[in-house]
A = this chain, B = another copy of it.
Amino acid sequence: MEKPFVIGMDMGGTNTVFGVVDARGNVVSKSAIKTGNHTDVNLYIQDLHTELIKLIDATGGVDKFKGIGVGAPNGNYYTGNIEFAPNLPWKGVVPFAQLMSDKFGIPTALTNDANAAALGEMTYGVARGMKHFIMITLGTGVGSGIIIDGKLVYGHDGFAGELGHVTAIRNNGRLCGCGKSGCLETYASATGVARSAREILETSTKVSLLRNIAVESITSKDVFDAAMQGDEVAKEIFNYTGKILGECLADFVAFSAPEAIVLFGGLTKAGDLILNPIVENMEKNLLPIWRGKVKVLFSELKEADAAILGASSLAWEL
């Protein structure tokens, strides 16, 4: 029987978005539910079923679906479990893929959100046709998905590709939510940019539009808006962020010699303000054999659909 559709589903700490995707990468239909409301994963799946089955039935029913692909924080591809996800309401180890396939009668595969994004980029995005690239997601945190020989790197235990937690600043680095200090995530994420803004404003007396905002409530969006108006402090913040990220990217290149690094997520909206310092500092820190050869690209997937498309890519492999 022909199964021309898959489900792509992206689970965040606040919202879960999901959609029906066809073989050409069209998001045929989509919807969402709240994640955070459900302290019991079974009630979450119940509510998800209520919404998702409508989309499935409108597309010919369960028999038309090859699989469900899920991107979830701390999702483990090997086991199908979500394991100790700090930002989700259910704790410990949750056998999520199993629960889903039991409920829907559709095979379900699961990985973390950044891995799903990398698969989406390879299948539908700027990395089409590439066998070797590294996806870096610059959102609330920093995630990564590594593609080598056209396949995602899962590693020995399923958790490979935690590049947001390499040590970017070795001494006196910022405390990270993971318990370590100096992690890349504490600098190159949206929250990292906001932290940089607070640091610079509190330790200097430079004039800045950002001083019109209460320092504890400054967001990366505020920094972006100020930079677009020519604010020097805001531009300095993007230079600083891009420098730290670019230095780390050079080390990543030394690992897997990718054709490209693909950046995705909120911070990429800053465009050249962040891209220029990233590229400049990556190049400075590359071995001569790689200089001028590794592309740094922004994702071209629509952010609203990218998460669904990425997760759906996983379902085609089922």
Interface residues of A (CB under 8 A from B): 83-84, 131-132, 146, 148-149, 151, 153-163, 165-167, 169-170, 178-180, 247, 250-252, 254-259, 285, 287-290, 293
Decide: B251 and A166 in contact? CB cutoff 8 A.
yes
Decide: B289 and A180 in contact? CB cutoff 8 A.
no
Instruction: Pick 6 A–B contacts, CB within 8 A, sort by A.
Output: A131-B156, A148-B148, A161-B256, A165-B287, A166-B254, A166-B255
Residues of B within 8 A of A169 (CB): 170
Q: How far is the CA of A289 from the CA of B73 in the complex (A)?
A: 14
> Whole-angstrom distance from the CB of A263 to the nearest CB of chain B?
17
Which single member of B156, B157, B167 contacts A247 (CB below 8 Å)? B167
Decide: A289 and B155 in contact? CB cutoff 8 A.
no
Which single member of B160, B254, B289 contacts A256 (CB below 8 Å)? B160
Which single member of B166, B179, B288 contacts A288 (CB below 8 Å)? B179
Decide: B254 and A158 in contact? CB cutoff 8 A.
no
Q: How far is the CA of A251 from the CA of B170 in the complex (A)?
A: 11
> Whole-angstrom distance from the CB of A189 to the nearest CB of chain B?
16
Given A155-B132, A155-B148, A247-B170: A254 touches B288 (CB 8 Å cut-off): no
Decide: B247 and A153 in contact? CB cutoff 8 A.
no
Chain B residue at smallest Cβ distance from A149: B151
